[in-house]
Amino acid sequence: MATEDARYRESSQFRQWSFSPVQLASMRDKANTLARTSIAERLSTSPPNNASTNSMSAPTSNANTPDPDGGTPSLPEFLTPAEEALLVTFYTSELLRAGDHAEMGDEIKATAAAFFRRFYVTNSIMTYPPQQMLIVALFFGCKAEGAFPRITDFAQTFGKEDPQDILAGEFLLCQGIRFCFDVKHPFRALRGAVMELRKLGDIDTSRIDSAERRARDILRFSPLVTDAYFHYTPSQIMYATLSHADRGLVERLIQETFHYVAPPTNSGPDTPTASGDASTPATSRRDTNKGDDNNKAAIIGSYIRDRVLGTIEACRDMLAKEMPERREHWSNKTVIKAQITPLRKKLNKCHDPDRWDLVKLQKVRREQALKKGDSEDGSPGDRVASSEADASLFGGDVATAQRDAKRRKVGAKGLDDPFGGAL
Amino acid sequence: MLRKAPVGARGMAPGTASGAALPLTTDDMCPVCKTIRYLNKDMEFLINPECYHSMCSNCVNRLFNDGPNQCPYAGCNRTLRRKGFRSAFFGDLTVEREVDIRRRVAAVFNQAEDDFETLRDYNNYLQMVEDLTFDLVSGAEGKRPAAEAQLQQWEAEHKADIERNRKAGREADEQARRRLTAEREAARQRRIEAIKEAEDEKLERARSREAELDTLAQAPEGQRVQLKRRGQTNRAGGATASAVETTVNTAIAAADVGRLSIRGLKEKRKAPAPEGPYDPFGGSDFVPSRYKVGEGLAHPQVEKYRFDQQHITGGYSFDDYTARAMFEAFAGLGVFIEDEKEVGIGMSAGQVATIGAGIAAVGDRMELD
């Protein structure tokens, strides 16, 4: 295994925030279904203008929840996962525009966009307001990338009077992104690739420069508004953008990198380590350095080269859907009117009334926490709901441990659920 | 190597030059040249461990000075060399031969008890070695070559072990020798001290006698003298008590020395394999496998800062930047997330789904800030 890959596998981006398309889709479906269930329950039990604290912690994993679609006729129409995805993409492009407006660096914008998209993987857009969350993501992205703007200045930039509007969502965002603050970007990787290309020596520098400019432009937009960060590694994304800019350069670079060809005694082209032993006839001469050869073939052989090229090609196709020229598409008035506005209207009707206002939500939660701290046991129904939810999250053991008085106190402090509230 | 038993008639070998203590027998005659001791007082009998046939040194010189030659004994067709001859230590050559064999076997099978897990293992091992030795010394005609082959095979296979054990044994010998000398030295010190003490005591006694006589001369009060004398005896009693104490102490010290030796034996037990130096990166390999970092890697956007005071004053490392950029350009290139996440090199698909669902399903109990 290549050492670079082993090191990348150690990152939180790979361990926590990389998914196959199927997994990602199922997670989004799940988030959507749960949001529907809880909002339907909420709307059918109490009128929206009277947001009482009790309903906040309604059991979400209850089996006998009434079907929201076939339930009371007063229920609004909910967004489908596809519509949600469209909205998230739209708001991501909005986020990037906001970042441009505030004259932020590329990495800050990219980090904020990654935070935003990650947040809406496990949370539905119907639960928390995307327009506020994108500002929060930008603010927190600044901090994650080592820039520390004043919150008052920052709020003013976006026309917000009260900094609390931004701060209220900050911890929520952290929970949603599961405290993975380090996002690996392809920007520096592009520099590395350019260094390597320049080192080859026989390529026109102006060609490299123009390709780099174009690739960087794509990197600023395309991977951020697509799911590329979930499905591909930064280097793969980088090569995909570079191949959009100049396909020949990428092919050259990949050929140079995966240059290893098995010695000629081996019949046929070298094959992967696993199937290589089966397909190649056992030659006694190469027995001594066969392991070494196989290892090399697995790292820089032609088989892995083809796989990498295939992955880059797939990533390229994904990025092709959202080329930088689509910036205008997302800010085009007619497009917004045709596609986004109806969804927004729908969203206005079907959003979660309790959690839409982040400031109020924070206030309510603080009060709740205080109340819990004052009266040791809290409301029994609430307790049952929480332990049920914990059981579903951690696999049953916690439910029994929760009865422990000590545990309960810790739970009342809000530490038992570090990864955020319900949808 | 040992085909022939020593000549039956020569049960008692002649005394060697060094072995003057051995009783000399009447038939001190060289069986090769028939010289008798009567004619040659300095006659010395030599044997060769090839066949243990003894002959006088004159015969050895005569026969083997010109190179290897056959043994002059009738029926013995061993080829002997001058170098191999030596005088026998034991009068009985069977004993000499057995000792030789045992020495050789012991050099090969030199495991100590500490090398074994249990006492039973060690005993089994000793039994095995003893059986082998017996086969070599007095085994039947068929068994001896087999045992010999076994011995040689073991020697060839465990060369390193044998060498290590030999070294350990040598160290142990060295330690024992040092301990012995230390003990001897301590004993010598004790003896000197004892002598000194005895002298002191004698002096003290003489002095007290003087003092007694003086007091008698000066103050003829019987009681005072009595008291003094009692004090004197008391003091003497104390001295003997301290002497007892010191002997006890030395006894304890001697016991300590004894125990020390046992502990030393235990310490010979195989030490656990060394853990190696601490690795703060948990085994991560930082040697790039798909690219090389070195001269010639430059980017115009970075190069322009190379002579920028604001950058270089703070110690900005351009090499580090290059290394990091190159690493990022190639890191994860061979990571195929879709496959790996489905198959589960990192986290299995099911796990991710349950965690995601868990996050989504968790009740609303969190607290901000």
Tokens describing residue A401: 């441990």
Largest CA distance in chain B: 119
Nearest CA to A392 out of B349, B356, B347 is that of B356
Beta-carbon pairs below 8 A across chains A and B: 240
Phi, psi torsion values for B29, nearest 5 degrees:
-135, 135
B336 contacts A239? CB cut-off 8 A: no
Distance from the Cα of B344 to chain A's closest Cα (Å) equals 10
Same domain for A159 and A48: yes
CA-CA distance, B285 to B315, in Å (whole number)? Answer: 26
Q: Estimate to the nearest angstrom the gap between the alpha carbon of A26 and the chain centroid.
A: 14
B359 contacts A393? CB cut-off 8 A: yes
The residue in chain B having the minimum alpha-carbon distance to the alpha carbon of residue A213 is: B301
Residues making up chain A, counted from first to last: 423
B299 contacts A191? CB cut-off 8 A: yes
On whether the CB atoms of residues A370 and B368 are closer than 8 A, the answer is no
Q: Do the domain assignments include residue A414?
A: no
Q: According to the per-residue pLDDT averaged within each range, which of B96-105, B199-208, B351-360 is highest?
A: B199-208
Distance from the Cα of A42 to chain B's closest Cα (Å) equals 13
Distance from the Cα of B364 to chain A's closest Cα (Å) equals 5
- Continuous segment of H or E residues that includes residue A44: helix A21-45
Q: Is the pLDDT of residue B262 over 50?
A: no
Residues on chain A touching B298 (C-beta within 8 angstroms): 195, 198
Chosen for mutation from B343, B366, B369 (greatest number of chain A CBs closer than 10 Å) is: B366
Nearest CA to B6 out of B97, B82, B72 is that of B97
Nearest CA to A59 out of A390, A413, A356 is that of A390
Distance from the Cα of B313 to chain A's closest Cα (Å) equals 21
Same domain for A198 and A109: no
Q: What percentage of chain B has pLDDT greater than the value 70?
A: 71
Query: B169 CB contacts (<8 Å, ≥6 apart)?
Result: B110, B112
Same domain for A143 and A38: yes
CA-CA distance, A183 to A108, in Å (whole number)? Answer: 10
B301 contacts A191? CB cut-off 8 A: yes
Q: Report the CATH number at residue A121.
A: 1.10.472.10
Residues on chain A touching B291 (C-beta within 8 angstroms): 196, 257
The residue in chain B having the minimum alpha-carbon distance to the alpha carbon of residue A390 is: B362
Which DSSP symbol is given to A337?
Answer: I
The predicted pLDDT at position A419 comes to 61
Pick the more confident residue, A386 or B199. B199
The residue in chain B having the minimum alpha-carbon distance to the alpha carbon of residue A53 is: B364
Chosen for mutation from A164, A166, A182, A195 (greatest number of chain B CBs closer than 10 Å) is: A195
- Partner residue facing B287 (CB), from A3, A188, A413: A3
A414 contacts B328? CB cut-off 8 A: no
- Cα A83 to Cα A50, A339, A388: the distances in Å are 29, 10, 31
Q: Do the domain assignments include residue A406?
A: no
Burial (CB count within 10 angstroms: exposed 0-12, middle 13-18, buried 19+), residue A19: buried
B300 contacts A299? CB cut-off 8 A: no
CA-CA distance, A61 to A59, in Å (whole number)? Answer: 6
Q: Do the domain assignments include residue A9?
A: no
Q: Do the domain assignments include residue A273?
A: no
The predicted pLDDT at position A63 comes to 40
Q: Do the domain assignments include residue A73?
A: yes
B284 contacts A2? CB cut-off 8 A: no
Distance from the Cα of A119 to chain B's closest Cα (Å) equals 11
The predicted pLDDT at position B163 comes to 87
Which DSSP symbol is given to B196?
Answer: H
A362 contacts B328? CB cut-off 8 A: no
Distance from the Cα of A329 to chain B's closest Cα (Å) equals 30
Nearest CA to A114 out of A136, A141, A146, A151 is that of A141
Q: Do the domain assignments include residue A384?
A: no
A362 contacts B368? CB cut-off 8 A: yes
Q: Estimate to the nearest angstrom the gap between the alpha carbon of A235 and the chain centroid.
A: 17
Distance from the Cα of B4 to chain A's closest Cα (Å) equals 49
Pick the more confident residue, B22 or B355. B355
The predicted pLDDT at position A122 comes to 92
Same domain for A108 and A198: no
- Per-residue pLDDT of A21-49, as tens digits, reads 999 999 999 999 999 999 998 888 865 44
Same domain for A123 and A58: yes
Q: Report the CATH number at residue A199.
A: 1.10.472
Residues making up chain B, counted from first to last: 369
The residue in chain B having the minimum alpha-carbon distance to the alpha carbon of residue A20 is: B338
Distance from the Cα of B278 to chain A's closest Cα (Å) equals 19
Same domain for A149 and A61: yes
Residue A230 structural domain: 187-257+306-327
On whether the CB atoms of residues A95 and A137 are closer than 8 A, the answer is yes
Residues on chain B touching A417 (C-beta within 8 angstroms): 362-363, 365-366
On whether the CB atoms of residues A22 and B342 are closer than 8 A, the answer is yes
A196 contacts B363? CB cut-off 8 A: no
3-state SS record for B206-270? HHHHHHHHHHHHHCCCHHHHHHHHHHHHHHHHHHHHHHHHHHHHHHHHHHHHHHHHHHHHHHCCC
On whether the CB atoms of residues A315 and A228 are closer than 8 A, the answer is yes
Handedness of CA B193, B199, B205, B207 (dihedral sign): negative
Residues on chain A touching B284 (C-beta within 8 angstroms): 3, 6-7, 10
Residues on chain A touching B365 (C-beta within 8 angstroms): 57, 382, 386, 389, 411, 414, 416-417, 421
The residue in chain B having the minimum alpha-carbon distance to the alpha carbon of residue A420 is: B366
Nearest CA to B93 out of B142, B22, B37, B32 is that of B22
Same domain for A109 and A242: no
Same domain for A87 and A54: yes
Partners of residue B69 on adjacent β-strands: B80
The residue in chain B having the minimum alpha-carbon distance to the alpha carbon of residue A312 is: B333
- pLDDT tens-digit profile, chain A (423 residues): 688 899 999 999 999 999 999 999 999 999 999 999 999 988 888 654 444 434 444 444 444 444 444 444 567 889 999 999 999 999 999 999 999 999 999 999 999 999 999 999 999 999 999 999 999 999 999 999 999 999 999 999 998 888 888 999 999 999 999 999 999 999 999 999 999 999 998 899 999 999 999 999 999 999 999 999 999 999 999 999 999 999 999 999 999 999 888 776 544 444 444 444 444 444 444 455 667 778 888 888 888 999 999 999 999 999 999 999 888 888 888 888 988 999 999 998 888 888 888 888 888 988 998 888 776 544 444 444 444 444 444 444 434 444 444 444 444 444 445 565 544
Nearest CA to B352 out of A27, A398, A392, A29 is that of A27
Nearest CA to A248 out of A208, A221, A216 is that of A208
- Cα B290 to Cα A3, A84, B336: the distances in Å are 9, 40, 16
B325 contacts A14? CB cut-off 8 A: no
CA-CA distance, A2 to B331, in Å (whole number)? Answer: 9
CA-CA distance, B54 to A198, in Å (whole number)? Answer: 88
pLDDT band at B159 (very low <50, low <70, confident <90, very high): confident
User: If DSSP codes are grouped into helix, strand and coil, which group holds residue A70?
Assistant: coil
CA-CA distance, A196 to A257, in Å (whole number)? Answer: 10
Same domain for A322 and A230: yes
Tracing tokens 């060399």 back to the chain, one arrives at B81
Q: Do the domain assignments include residue A194?
A: yes
Distance from the Cα of A374 to chain B's closest Cα (Å) equals 15
Q: Count structural domains, chain A.
A: 2
B334 contacts A304? CB cut-off 8 A: yes
Chosen for mutation from B286, B299, B324, B335 (greatest number of chain A CBs closer than 10 Å) is: B335
* Structure ipTM: 0.78
Angle between the N-to-C axes of helices B93-108 and B159-218, in degrees from 0 to 180, rounded to the nearest 10: 100
Which DSSP symbol is given to B45?
Answer: E
Residues on chain A touching B297 (C-beta within 8 angstroms): 195-196, 198-199
3-state SS record for A79-136? CCHHHHHHHHHHHHHHHHHHHHHCCCCHHHHHHHHHHHHHHHHHCCCCCCCHHHHHHH
Angle between the N-to-C axes of helices A302-320 and A247-257, in degrees from 0 to 180, rounded to the nearest 10: 150
The residue in chain A having the minimum alpha-carbon distance to the alpha carbon of residue B354 is: A393
How many CB atoms are located within 10 Å of the residue B65 CB? 9
B300 contacts A232? CB cut-off 8 A: no
CA-CA distance, B44 to B57, in Å (whole number)? Answer: 6
B324 contacts A8? CB cut-off 8 A: no
| Residue-range domain boundaries for chain B | 45-157, 163-267, 300-361
Distance from the Cα of B295 to chain A's closest Cα (Å) equals 9
Residues on chain A touching B319 (C-beta within 8 angstroms): none
Same domain for A74 and A33: yes
The residue in chain A having the minimum alpha-carbon distance to the alpha carbon of residue B301 is: A191
Which DSSP symbol is given to A54?
Answer: G
Nearest CA to B45 out of B80, B2, B88, B96 is that of B88
The four Cα atoms B58, B64, B66, B68 give a dihedral, to 10 degrees, of: 180
- Per-residue pLDDT of B284-343, as tens digits, reads 888 888 888 888 888 888 888 888 888 888 888 889 999 999 999 999 998 999 888 887
A386 contacts B363? CB cut-off 8 A: yes
Q: According to the per-residue pLDDT averaged within each range, which of A130-134, B135-139, B247-251 is highest?
A: A130-134
- Continuous segment of H or E residues that includes residue A206: helix A205-225
Q: How are the residues of chain A apportioned to helix, strand and coil, as percentages rounded to the nearest 5?
A: 65, 0, 35
Which range has the worst mean pLDDT, A292-301, B50-59, B200-209, B230-239? Answer: B230-239
Tokens describing residue B197: 């003490």
How many CB atoms are located within 10 Å of the residue B23 CB? 7
Q: Is the pLDDT of residue B225 over 60?
A: no
Same domain for A199 and A116: no
CA-CA distance, B37 to B300, in Å (whole number)? Answer: 104
Q: Is the pLDDT of residue B130 over 50?
A: yes
Q: Is the pLDDT of residue B356 over 60?
A: no
Tracing tokens 């998230």 back to the chain, one arrives at A88
Q: Is the pLDDT of residue B258 over 70?
A: no
Distance from the Cα of B352 to chain A's closest Cα (Å) equals 8
On whether the CB atoms of residues B7 and B53 are closer than 8 A, the answer is yes
- Cα B275 to Cα A51, B200, B278: the distances in Å are 62, 59, 8
Same domain for A223 and A128: no
